[in-house]
Chains A and B, each alone.
Chain A
Amino acid sequence: MEIRGMPARDILRYISSGEVSAAEVVETYLDAIREIDPQTNAFIEVLEPAARADASRIDKELRDGGSPGILAGLPVAIKDNICVKGAGCTCGSKILENWIAPYDATAARRLREQGAVIIGKTNMDEFAMGSSTETSAYGVTRNPWDLSRVPGGSSGGSAVAVAAGMAPLALGTDTGGSIRQPASFTGICGLKPTYGLVSRYGVTAYASSLDTVGPFGEGVWDCALLLEVIAGHDPLDATSHAKEPVTYTKALDGNVAGLRVGVPQELLRGVSAPVKAVFESTLSTMEDMGMIVEEMSLPSLAHAVEAYYVIAAAEASSNLARFDGVRFGRRADAGTLDEMYTRSRGEGFGKEVIKRIILGTFVLDTGNKDRYYRRAAQVRTLIKDEFQKAFERFDLIVSPAAPDVAFKIGEKIQDPLTMYLADLITIPVNMAGVCALSMPMGFAECDGVSLPCGLQIIGKPFDEQTVLRAGYCLEQEIGAGIREKVRHMRQNLGPVRECELVD
């Protein structure tokens, strides 16, 4: 039986029926990481001994007739800004190089409670600041569809772990598109939950009014399952919402005919012609399925990127003040306290992080706060209100998940503005605090290479059910061809051959 690459649902069924053990499943994925990750660099740390021990414990529990949970024995990869007790949590930064998390983030704890096996910590842009996983202090993560391209970011490692078949499921974080854009670039599904649905306790804060934790999976069902486990009220996160728990996997089947779907023209500006063609074909399929698709406008979205970079930088400059070499993380040799702060931070942070902290310090500086920060927060109100109004007319809003397919490594890293604009389509969702799914909608040609591109399905706050149901039903229509291409991509990856990876 070939476990690797099998849908999560099937792996769980085989484990619970005893046809395969959790230990065998974990070994299969550890082998996959060993073979493939030298090419992709998706993992910062592989938790081999802990994963094996967890798998054995789950097998024993199953043999003894226990119920280890709905994820029993399933390997899950976790982005390296989410604390997993006993594992490193570098956030892709040198400043946390040797720091070991002393506790589990709530999301990680909930996975363990449901029997998931945490297989490793994945690479990311430093402190989630980036759209390509190129700003990590631990090297670039490569896109398995074309190793010369980026996987997107900042959760690039988690996306690649799933896309390349090194983990059936993964967790990421999304502050401005960091789950949805890499999902789009790597041909998998990723969900940015509504702000407040998933606890951020134990997740390193970047921009607290925008940060969310969400799932990656090969298909929509996988994301629904993982969301079901991690969602829910947590008194340890003040922004966590006390909503009734939802069994998202049970909400997938159903009728989508009659759903009203809006297409904001502002989110189509700058989208490449090949991606636009795939998007239009997807809209036709949605219409064939009975959804009512209509063009609409959300004018304030034109200023979302500017407002985002002010708010995110301001919050980052405050949140990252905690990395001062006193209580945890890197400490530079210094004669005085002030020197210790400045050297520890100067040596520990990478250039992109320093740039955003300085920008944040500037927009919060005396005289600038009203001019920049307050104004950006007012623009956010306009964006939020426009979404709210739009959702009186529409059940869903759709767009491509990224303006183009994955770009080449090094292509945009020297041009910060172009890189920032790559998030143009995903940022408004975080600014409004609503939920959105990124799922593969097809393939677009770029330089003679066929690369995946994603559809973004945006939903009302706390209406992940409708988003997931629409995505799941659409997947039944268009998913077979995409899955076939994913299988083919994985076969081509194979074990690493020496001399192949010359930078």
Chain B
Amino acid sequence: MTTEHTRKLIALTAIWAALLLAPYWMAPLGGYTALATRVLVLGLAAMSVNFLLGFTGVLSFGHAAYFGLGAYGAGLTLKFLAPSTPLSLLFGMLLGGVAGAILGALIARRRGVYFAMVTIAFGQVFYYIAFQWSSLTGGDDGLRGFSRQPLDLGLVKIDILSNADNFYYFVLLCFALAVGIMGFLLRSPFGRTMIAIRENERRARFLGIPVERHIWIAFTLSCFFMGFAGALYALVNNFADPRGLHYSQSGDFVMMAVMGGMRNFWGPLLGATVFVVLQDYLSSVTVNWMSFVGMLFVLVVLFFPRGLLGFVRRKSDA
């Protein structure tokens, strides 16, 4: 086993150890389990954005829309369809993913800032719908009146509503599932074509890769992951927020990915941790937390564009 291999294995073990034991080491540090749950879900969202941004090199800035759709999908399922947590997750994911598939098809030919503009505009359509269709979505107040249901495993019912630790481990399980699939995809031949497109789109095209089609597929996949994360988020809060669909939420996710390091698989999770903790802290000490968040954006972009894990570079095996 090469040194790079061993390094990766150690890092991986450390990450999962930290995640599995979070409820235990967070309390002494002044944290609380629900915060960890939030970080996991937002981290998953940031990783889903990065699936497209960091690994395919596509600038989608309106991705929060699919996150929000996932949240509303889960909420609506629980409120009107059936009191089943797994079902709400499924429907949330489907809503986000299918919307992504349709919209992705419309814009797969664009690139660069134009692509970003159109993704933002499209995202705003859903924001607008969530606001206007208040009879269904609760409008400005958001979707309420639902809560996460206990998990019925036949022999035993697990209460995830009032037990924060139980819920955390449930979310961790979902996270592990999603992240596992994501990693698997990135290491597959298809995943390699995504990276090829990021590295050199022209060369990818001249190797016979149907670039537009692959970008559409990557876009759709990342929207499914986003929808899933959004559905989880609705469960975290027992509430779906129209602001979760706004492009400023997209900006937050992109910033998490950049801050943690876009070229690294786990970067966005780290970025999400820092971002969430920082935002939590700032909003409790000052009313002008918005300017601080804005300044954070500016500082990261100007001085730390590679992010926290950006210094981890590949080396040649001589």
The answer on A and B forming one complex is no
Chain A: residues with CB nearer than 8 A to chain B? none
